[in-house]
Chain A
Amino acid sequence: MSDPATALVPAATLAAITGPGVLQLVIYLAVLLAFVKPLGWYMARVLEGNPGEAPLGLGRALGWLERGIYSLGGVQADAEKRPVETGWKPYAAGILVFNALGFIAVYGLQRLQSVLPANPAGLGPVEAKSAFNTAISFATNTNWQGYGGETTMSYLTQMLGLGVQNFLSAATGIAVLAALIRGLSRKSAGTIGNCWADLTRSTLYILVPLSVILAVALVSQGVVQTFRGPARVALIVPLSYSEPVKNDAGEVIKNADGSDQIRTVEVTEQSIPLGPAASQIAIKQLGTNGGGFFNVNSAHPLENPTALSNFLQVLAILLIPAALCWTFGEMVCDRRQGWAVLAAMLVIFVPLLAATYALEARGNPTVAALGVDTTANLGELGGNMEGKEARLGVANAALWATATTAASNGSVNAMHDSFTPLGGLIPMWLMQLGEVVFGGVGSGLYGMLMFVIVAVFVAGLMVGRAPEYLGKKIEPFEMKMAMVCVLVPCALVLVGTAVAVLTPDAYTTSNPGPHGFSQILYAFSSAGNNNGSAFAGLTANTPFYNIALGLAMWFSRFWIIVPVLAVAGSLAAKRVSATTSGTLPTHTPVFVLMLVAVVVIVGALTFVPALALGPVVEHLQLVGK
C-alpha cells in the first residue's frame, strides 16, 4: 500500500528540495547502517554474557560494579555466581516492581525538590497532577513533557529523577527484548533470563558508555554542562515596554481620570537558563527518551548548538533501535532474521522520510499566496520554515521529525505543530503504527516482533503450513498476546481522543477545527505509544491531560510488556521445529513485504477515519483555498 500522504501530493513544484538536503539524508542513513553491525554485535555479547563479561575491556573495568550491584540488591546467584534465571512471571514481576519504584522516586523528587539540594533557581514543588504525569512519563520511556524544564525542575530532579529514569526506562526496554529473544532462541526451556541482571548489564555496559561518549562529543559542540544557576547577560540592545501598574492585590491602579496607571519598564539584561544539560541530552537521545532539558528541546541553541551536534543527536535517536535488530539476529543465531526486520523498518521509514522532506520543502500555499518567496536560494533555506530553526532548515527538521517519531523518542528540533498538514500527518502516523518502525530502545523491536507473529500467522496459512517463527509454533496463546500488544495502543489513542474531544475542558488547542483535532489526536498518539513528542499547540499541563495522558502512557507501556514477556515464556517452553523446504522462510524479501503490509495496513485501517478528520481534511482545505 502506498503511503496516503505521497498519493495526495500534486506533482507541483517541490520547491525547496535541495541537493545538500538530500545528501544529508543519504549520509545519515549510511552512517546509521554502518553502526548497526558493530554495535549490534557488542550488545549481543553484553546480553549473553556472564557477570563481569563484556567486550572491549568494559567487563574488566566495570565488572566489580556489576557484581557489587547484584550483592547489594540481593540478586540470587547460582553456584557459579551467575544470577539465577527465572520464568516469565517472576521476570515480569521484577520489571513491574522496578518501574513502580522508579515512578515513586520521580514523583517524590518533584514534590520535595524545594527542600532538596541542587536547586539554584529556587523552584517550588511541582504540582501534584503534573508530577504524576511526569513521573509516569519518565518511567515509561515516554518523556511526554507537560511542563517547561528550566522553569519547573530543579537540577536534582532533572538528574536524579529524570536523568536516572532515562537510563532505567531504556534498560527496561532492552531487558524485555532480551527476554523475548531468549524465548525465541531457547528450546524447551523454563527460563527467559534474570531481569535484574539484564537491567544492570544493559545500563552499565550499553547505555552508560554510549552516553558518556555522546555527552563529551556534545559538550565539545557547546552544549552546556554546569551546576551554575541561570546566567545573567547584558542585552546588546536594551529593551523597554509599558505595563499597567498593579497594587499588591494584583489590581491595576487607576489614574484619577479612570484610565490605567502605566509605567515604562527598561530591560537591560536577560537570564539565560543553564544546567547539566549535555549528560541528560546524551541519554535522552540514545535511550529514545526525548525529554528535553529545556522547554523547546533540541531546538534550543544550548541543547543543540551546531550542525554536528544536530547530526549526532539525530543519529543517536535511531542508533540503538537499529542496532538491536542485528543483536536479535546474532542472538537467535540467524543474522538474516535481524536484517529482515531491519529491512522492513527501513522500507517503511525511508519513503516516509522522503515524503516528509518533500512536503515540508514544498512550503505552505497560504504563505506563498501572500507573495513570500519560499524557494531555496542563496542564504534562504526555503520551504515551510514556520516553527523550524533557521540554523537547521527543512531537511534536518524533516529528518528529525521522522526519526523521533519512528523511534519512540519524541525530542524535537522543530515544532511539528507548524508542519504542513500532511507533513505533520507522517510523524503522527509513525507513532500510530505502534512505535515499531525502529521504535523505542528494545520496545520497538519487541513490538515489531509481535507484528512478526501476526505476519507469520497469516503468511503461514497462505502457504499451507501451521505458522511458526524461528521454528516455534504460533498458537492461540501467542496470537492472543500479540493481538493485545497491537490492540492496546490503538484503543488508547482512539478512545483517549474520543474522550478528550467530548470534554469541554480538554479543548485547550491553539487552533479550532481540524488542526485542533489533530493536536489532540497527536497528544494521544504520542502518549498511547510511549513516544512523548507533542504538537506544541496543545496546552497539556491541565488536570485532564495530566491524568488522561498519564494513564495512557502507563497502560501502553506495561500492557505490552507483560504480554510480550508472556509470549517469551510460552515460546521458550516450545520445541523447535526443523527447517525444511516446506518451512516459510522469514528472511526473504517476500516476507519482509508481508511484514510491512501487516504493519502498514493495521496502522492505516485503524487510523484512516481519524486522520481523515484531522490532517487530511486540513490539507484538502488548505490546497482547496
Chain B
Amino acid sequence: MSGRSEAPAAVSAVRRLGRNVLATPGRLWASFSRAGRPATDRSRSKFVFGNVFLHLHPARVHRWSLRWTTTWGLGIAALSAFLITLITGVLLMFYYKPYPSAAYNTIKDIHFVVPTGRFIRNIHRWAANVMVVTVLLHMARTFFTAAYRKPREFNWVVGMGLLALTLGLSFTGYLLPWDQLAYWAITIGANIAQSPRELTDALGITAYFDPGGFQKLILLGSTDVGEEALIRFYLFHVMLLPLGLVALLAVHFWRIRKDGGLVRPAGADERLGSVDPETYPVFTEAPDKTYHLAAVVKGRTPWVGRGPENTLPAMPHLFYAELAVLMLVVFLCVGLALLVDAPLKELANPDLPENPAKAPWYFLGLQELVSHSAFMGGIGIPAVVLVGLGLIPYLDRETHGTGEWFGGPGGLRLVALSAAVGLGSVLGIEAFAIRFGWLRTWWPDIPQLVITFVNPGTFLTVVYGVFSVWAVRRYDSTRAGALALFTCFLCGFIVLTIIGAHFRGPNWEFYWSPSHWPGH
C-alpha cells in the first residue's frame, strides 16, 4: 500500500479513479459499518454503540432483562404497534383528503380501488388498537413490578404523557373517515371537553370563566363538528401528536438507559443461576479497549474496574428478543386486518345522531360515567386518576419488592383482594344504577350539582380510596395502598368499558346483548 502511494507518477490519476470506482462497493460497506463484521463479542458491542439507531440499546444487557416474564415485551410491543401505525399512516396520507366532502369518498376509494389500500387501512386501525392495549398493559406491568421507583420516577411520568398522547392519537384518528361513527363519537368527545361548564353553570360563573367552552372551541374551531374540526383533528393526528409522541419516546428510551436499564430485584443474580453454556461468555479475550458510555449513569455501583457480570451482548440476544416481539405484533395486526375490516358507516349526518352514539372503546368506561355526570365522568375522575397515577412514584418511596411481580407488602394476596373489592363494588353500583336508576329517577327536581358529586363514578372513587387507605394501615405500607388503588381502578376501568361497549344500547339503556336492541 505505502509503496504505491509513494510513487504517484507510476499510476495515472485516471487509473486510480478506475480502481476507486471498482473498490467503492467494498469501501462503502466498510465505511457504513464502522466496526466491520460483527463477529466477535467486541465488534458486536461496537456494532451496537457505533450505530445511531442501535446505540439506544446498551451494548450489553443483563440476563434478567431478557427473561420473558420480566416485561413480556410489552414496551417493545407498544413501540412496534406505533411504528406500524406510523408506516401505514403515511401510506394512507397518499390518498386521504381532510375535507368533509372528500374525506369519506377517499376512504371508500382506499377501501375499494387503492391496491392494498383496504389491507393497509385495516392494519392501521388494528395497530392503533393494539397500541392502546399494549400501552395500558405496559403501564400495568411497570406498576405491578414496582419499576416506577427511584431512580425511574420521572420515566413513569413520561409514560403517563405517552399514554395520554396514545389515546389522543387514536381519538383524533377517529374523526378522519367522516362517517356517522366518527362524527358522533367526536361530538360526544368535544362536549366532554366542554363539560366543565356543568360546574361553572352550577356556580353561575360561565359568563365570566368558561374553560369548558374554550376547550371545545380550540378542539373544533367552531361550535359544531365541521370542516374546521376535521382539519384540526388531521393536523393533530398526522403532525402534532406524532411529533410529541416521538419526542417523548426519545426521552422515555434515553431515560431507561440513564436510569440504569430495566429494573431487577435485589437477588436477581443469584436467582438467575449459572450462564447457559450456549451463550457467549463475558470477555473471552483481553480487551485492547474498554467500551465506554457517553456519561456517568445513575446507580450505586458504576461498573468501573469490574466485569459486567451476568450480562450478554445486546447483539444478538436483545435484538432477537426485540425482533421476535416486533414480528409477533406485526403478525397480530396483519392477521386481524385480514379477518376484520376497519369499520366505516354512512356518511356523517349532523342532523341524525347515531343511536347509540358510542365513543372509541377505550373511552366507553368514561362514557358510562358520563351518562350520569358529563363533568365528573369526563373530566373530574379521569383527572384525579391521571394525577394519582403520576404521583404514585413520589408517594411510594419504599424499596421492598422492587422488580418483583406484585412485589411489596401484601403481594399477590392483596392484589387478589383488591381485585375482588374493585370488581365487587363496580359491578354492585352498576347493577344498582341499572336496576333502580339514580338520583334523578327518584327526585326529578334534584339540582345537577348534587348529581355531579354523588354518582356511581364518585362513589367508586371514594370506595377505592377508602379501601386503599385501609390497605396502607393494614400493611403499614404506602406500596400496599398503591397496589390496592391501582388494582381497583384497573378493575373498574375494565368493567365499565365492557358495560359501555357491550351492554349499552339505544338511548344508553341496558341490554344483555346487541341482538336485543329494538329494530334489529
Does A pair with B? no
